Homo-oligomer: A and B are copies of this chain.
Amino acid sequence: MSDISNTEGIPLYVKIRESLRQQIASGELERGQKLPSEDELATQFGVSRMTVRQGTSDLIDDGLLYRRHGVGTFVTLPHIERDHSRLTNFFENSDKHGIHAKATILEFEVIHATPMIAQALLLESDEFVIHIKSLRQADEVMVTLHDAYIPHRLFSEMIQEELHDFDVQHLWSKFEKNGYPVKRAVQKIEARLADQELAKVMQIQAGAPILFKERTVYAEDGTPVEFTYCYNRGDMYSLTVILNR
């Protein structure tokens, strides 16, 4: 043991990962620079080589490092943090950017699933779903209209709550409490125009650009927990995603 003491129960590879991440962030390890070899790092940190690899592998997934077989491990030039393309809650995201986010629930009802929704949520076509229509504002400006559908079978106790008590901000943590932690989402994205109805609700012009998302949210085990149509104001909303080859 040398640099890294086993304080608390934090795994060694996590400490190594964070130590390297910090060294990169601080500029101690410069862009494009070659890291010490895995053997060397193992010696420096006083761990085995496999443990070093476990740490660096995480940073490679994050896009901070890359390896060249037979050559070495290097710091990537611009740091594209994978964080920029992670699944986030509207409110989490707003918080982080210091934006005041608010949601107003327009409708809250239990209905039969449409074929489209049933297919997305893996339900029988006659099953019930909870429908929540909500309007989201960022700094008092209406940005998004959500039409969310949730399997009634999985979250029936949610409708026990009063409408004004209901907290759309913590919908996902509610899923988690019920044993379905939100893990991933598949989103189909399109450009559309606002029709009369949408324009009225969002207080924009009919024919204004709308970034339309059709999103299915899945729990850890792959259970679909939410299917949502999102209508985002085109001039107020953009989406950044990172794709790998």
Contact = CB atoms under 8 A, between A and B. Distances in A.
Interface string A191-205: 111000000000000
A212 interface: yes
Contacts of A56: none
Q: What is the count of identical protomers in the complex? A: 2
Contacts of A158: none
Given A189-B240, A209-B191, A245 B182 contact: yes
A182 B244 CA distance: 9
A229 interface: no
A55 interface: no
A66 B241 CA distance: 23
A77 B212 CA distance: 26
A74 to B, nearest CB: 6
Interface residues of A, number: 52
B211 A189 contact: yes
Interface stretch (A83-91, A100-108, A125-133, A145-153): A83-91
A93 to B, nearest CB: 12
Interface in A38-97: 63, 66, 74, 76-80, 84-88
Contact of A184 (B208, B211, B244): B244
A208 B209 CA distance: 9
A192 B221 contact: no
B188 A239 contact: yes
A238 B184 contact: no
A223 interface: yes
A190 interface: yes
A222 interface: yes
A78 B224 contact: yes
A243 interface: yes
B85 A243 contact: yes
A191 B192 contact: yes
Instruction: List 4 tightest A-B contacts by C-beta distance, closest first.
Output: A76-B222, A77-B222, A191-B234, A87-B243
9 contacts: A32-B222, A76-B221, A84-B186, A85-B241, A86-B244, A185-B243, A190-B237, A191-B211, A241-B243
Given A189-B189, A190-B234, 14 more contacts: A66-B221, A66-B222, A74-B221, A77-B221, A80-B186, A86-B243, A86-B245, A87-B243, A181-B245, A184-B242, A189-B238, A190-B211, A190-B238, A191-B232
